[in-house]
Amino acid sequence: MATSDKVAAVEEITQKLRDSNAAVVTSYTGLSVAQLKELRRSLGENAQYRVVKNTLTKIAANEAGIQLDEHLKGSTAVAFVTGDPVTAAKGLRDFAKENPNLVIKGGVLDGKALSADEIKKLADLESREVLLAKLAGAMKAKQSSAAAVFQALPSKFVRTAEALRAKQAEQGGAE
């Protein structure tokens, strides 16, 4: 690779790392071209899977302010994620279950380094949409219970006042 090509490749990888909110580093040794194509499809439209050169990626990661050096050994490919990182992590995890030649080495999420185990835990999370829906449901339930409490207060007050009035009337009639 000529020097100008290497410089361009480093700039491209640096830009991808800066534009991505997550990057997952994998080893792909033993996967066929068809399997790599299937993997790219399984990641969704918000992730791009690309085979990279370790030395150029180390330089690009350092320029982007990201620490990936420990994961850049052997055959390396990176999934650059611009959308929901949970979806991409699930795609990688599920593909790795069916194809043991794909090994998740580690990655970065919003600038924080992640181990392979942390990426697998990320894959176990529910998607952003599901978590937001659950949060909205919980908030609605809290509002409903608060409304029930606020509605119960006046009726309880009325019942208490009526009981007090009846007790006073009873005491007034007994004297």
CA 65, CA 15: separation in Å to the nearest integer? Answer: 11
CA 80, CA 68: separation in Å to the nearest integer? Answer: 13
Task: Give the pLDDT score at 135.
Answer: 76
User: Which tokens in the block code for residue 72?
Assistant: 């850049």
Task: Give the pLDDT score at 161.
Answer: 79
User: Which tokens in the block code for residue 65?
Assistant: 């302010």
Across 127-161, b (16+ Cβ under 10 Å) vs e yields: eeeeeeeeeeeeeeeeeeeeeeeeeeeeeeeeeee
User: Tokens 């995890």 identify what position?
Assistant: 93
Task: Give the pLDDT score at 45.
Answer: 82
Task: Give the pLDDT score at 44.
Answer: 77
Planar angle of CA 136, 120, 133, nearest 5 degrees: 10
Task: Give the pLDDT score at 174.
Answer: 57
pTM for the model stands at: 0.68
Task: Give the pLDDT score at 73.
Answer: 87
Task: Give the pLDDT score at 133.
Answer: 80
Task: Give the pLDDT score at 28.
Answer: 86
Task: Give the pLDDT score at 117.
Answer: 85
Task: Give the pLDDT score at 2.
Answer: 63
| Residue among 116, 16, 106 at smallest CA distance from 69 | 106
CA 57, CA 44: separation in Å to the nearest integer? Answer: 23
CA 68, CA 64: separation in Å to the nearest integer? Answer: 11
* Regions in the chain scoring below 70 on pLDDT: 1-2, 126-128, 131, 141, 144-149, 152, 173-175
Task: Give the pLDDT score at 31.
Answer: 86
Task: Give the pLDDT score at 99.
Answer: 86
